[in-house]
Every structure is written in C-alpha cells, then in structure tokens.
Amino acid sequence: MADLTRGLTPAMEASSSAASQTTPSIHTEHSGHDSALSLADTIPDSGQQEEDSVADNYDEEDHDFDDNDSAFGGSLIGCDTDTLASYITDYRYENGRRYHAYRDGEYWGPNDEHSSDLQDLAHHMYLMTLEGLLHLAPLHSPHNILDLGTGTGIWAIEMADAYPSAHVIGTDLSPIQPLFVPPNCAFEIEDLNLSWTYPKNHFDFIHIRELFGCVADWDDFFSQAFEHTKPGGYVEILEHSVWPVADDDTINEESFFTTWGKTVVGLGEKFGKSFTIWEESKERMEKAGFVDVVETRYKWPMNGWPSPEHRTHGNDGDKPWRRLRELGVWNQLRLYDGVEGFMIRLLTVIGGWSYEAAQVFLAHMRAELKDLKIHAYLDVTVVYGRKPGGNPRPAVPSSTSTGYSVRPMVSTIPEDYQGLP
C-alpha cells in the first residue's frame, strides 16, 4: 500500500499515532444521557490482534486515570465493563478485513488500520474542499456539538480544539478513536439508526459526514436530528456521490464508471441503506423542518486529469484547476487503495458475488482510475440548515463562512504529475 501519511497534516498524524498507542482499560463517566454503549478506550489498537501481549499483561491498577478522563463517554447500564469490552472487540473477520462487532452487519465498511488511514485521508480532502474550514454553517459560540459516524474521531478532535468552550461528542459503531483527546471531547459507541438517547433541544451543532449507505430511514434520521438540535442550532451534512460522471463525452452508458455507479447504488438499495443521500439532503432537511437551508456543490475528480484547459469560472486565475487536480490525485489514491474495503462486503455478502468475481471487478476499477483521458468526477454536497427559534443570525454565504480555518491549503502535487504508474 502507498504511504498515506505523506502530505497529511500533523493533527492527522497525531490522530493515527495516538490510536496506535491505545491500551485497553475500563473507565466510565455519565454524560447526561443513557447511551447504548459508551466507552472509548476499551479497544485494542486497530492494528493489533486481540491477543496482543500488551493487552494480556495490562494492569489497570498501575494506571490511575482520572474519572473525568475525556476519552470516556457515558453510561454502561446493565453491563459488566469487562464483558462489554470483550463484546465490542469481538470483531468479525471477512476476506482478510476486520469489521465492527457491535450491531454486527449494520455497516459495510471495515474498521481496521487501513480503513482508518483512508478515513483520515478523506478528512484531508474535505478540508481542501472547504479551504481549511471544519464547517460551513455559521456557528456562534456553540456549547454542545455532536459528530455522528465519527470514524477515527479526527474531525471531532479538531473541532474540540477549535471551540475549547464546547463539549464535543463523537459517536460510532467502532471504538477506533485515539485515547488521548482534548478534555472537551468524548467518544461513544452508538447506532444512529436506533432512537437517540440524548436530551431534546440540546445540540448547537450536529455534524454528519459520509453516512451514505449507513442510514435505513433518512427522514426519521433528520427528524431525530431536528428534535435534538437546540432552537437556533444547525445541522450540517457532507456527502459525495458514488457514481462517477463527466461533463464531456469521456463517460457514456457503456463506460465502466457507469457500471460501477449502477452497481453501488443497486447494492445500497438491496442492503436497505441508500447511497444517494448527497442529492437528497437539502429536500429532506427542509421536510424535517429546518430553515435557511443552504446547499453548496463541489467536484472530486477521479484522478489528476484537470489541467489549464479545465479552468473554472472565478477570479482566482489558475487556482481552481490546480485545486481540482490535487483533489483528484488524493481521490485517486483513496479509491485505488480503498476500493476493496469499500466494496468487498457489499459485493460478496449483499450482492452474493464470489470473492474471485469481486476481485476482477475491483481490478477493473483500479485500471479505470489510472486513465487520465476519462474526465470523471464525483459530485460532493455540503448542506446545512437551522432549527427555527432561538436568536437566529443571518446565514453566511459559504465563501465567507465563520467556520474555523484549520490551516492554509497548499498544493503538494508536482507540475508534471502523470498519475499512478
């Protein structure tokens, strides 16, 4: 696999290294609601086997953590913590990949170290897309922030650093987040398809990113988000299409990318969890009752095909095509290295394909990703909306959003880049 840490930010590297240092221990703290499962550091490192000698020899008495350790979420009602820790680390292994144990089968993606690296790479791509912003919604001194489907927790950690007076909660099916996090950040094990157990009218901001293929009923999901958002608070969702398209004739009905898109969308329908939320978010949020809903669209090229001939309108000279090319290079790497994890369970378990047939299909995808003559891209949407009430302030256009700027986005792609070998 290619080195995915090259070109990534210190915060991303810290997230990855911290996760690899996680040592099993059991501590809990009540966080104001009865979570389904709530602990962050009971899980061995995602790159270690459960029989790791460090875990076997671990002596909790030698580690006198404070009861308010920020890495621990809420209640563990009715469960012995040792039993609970064993339960959620009893991972399923399929086709050489590791998958979550809690609510087994609810999610199609692996939770191993390779997958975590690619999630952090995706975080880098979203920051590039939003020009360093963690969000576009016009937040004003938020106190309670919820990150649904937090993954490695990298967004929640950076958000906690950006808003030190806020309490940030990240939820996921897998406890793969790092142990050492800001004191105002906590992670909890939750299934977002179940009834939410948080207080109503509680969160100033709910963040959703890449939950395509994860939600069984999007209308119910947004209804719950609306119910638990504080009046005047915001919900923001970032999603991208799984169906590559082009603005010219380099893709048609006979193209493999078209076959790919139809296959993924069809498998999502069979699984009962749609992959098309990227184009439905605005309408569904308005249906749930959100107002001042704003949608901003972007493009992620499938590789580094953008060139000066593909300039976009605007006043920044050649900056747009250069940014698109860099996004394409990162997207190509993410998909080339991650396509198996993205599809192998969907193809074999949901679609009933043989492992061999799935590998042939994935090999075809990798070959297409190398072709710079195909001007394919994925649509990306960022949609945010406000819950009526509170003390509303005018929505800020995305170009002047008050979102916290993490860092300037500097290109690292050589001028003569020719794609993967």
Statement: residue 350 has pLDDT above 50: yes
Quick one: pLDDT at residue 112?
78
Quick one: pLDDT at residue 102?
65
- Residue corresponding to tokens 């184009």: 279
CA–centroid distance for 325 within its chain: 22
Quick one: pLDDT at residue 104?
61
Quick one: pLDDT at residue 84?
53
Per residue in 377-418, pLDDT (tens digit) is: 999 999 999 999 987 665 444 333 334 434 444 445 555 555
Q: Which residue ranges make up each domain of the chain?
A: 10-391
Quick one: pLDDT at residue 95?
76
Tokens of 281: 């978010």
Fill in the DSSP letter of residue 349.
I
Selected from 3.40.50.360, 1.20.1630.10, 3.40.50.150, 3.10.20.30, the CATH number assigned to the domain covering 10-391 reads 3.40.50.150
Amino acid at 79: C
- Quote the CA–CA distance of 310 and 21 in Å, as a whole number: 44
Task: Label residue 313 by pLDDT band (50, 70, 90).
Answer: very low
Per residue in 134-158, pLDDT (tens digit) is: 999 999 999 999 999 998 999 999 9
- Quote the CA–CA distance of 151 and 155 in Å, as a whole number: 9
Q: What is the mean pLDDT of the chain?
A: 77
Quick one: pLDDT at residue 393?
60
Task: Label residue 109 by pLDDT band (50, 70, 90).
Answer: confident
Taking alpha carbons only, the member of 269, 256, 217, 268 closest to residue 109 is 268
Quick one: pLDDT at residue 341?
86
Per residue in 29-62, pLDDT (tens digit) is: 333 344 444 443 444 443 444 334 323 332 333 3
**Strands, E, within 251-392: which ranges?**
291-301, 376-386
Give the pTM: 0.75
**Which of 101-115, 286-300, 370-384 has the lowest average pLDDT?**
101-115
Statement: residue 11 has pLDDT above 70: no
Statement: residue 92 has pLDDT above 90: no
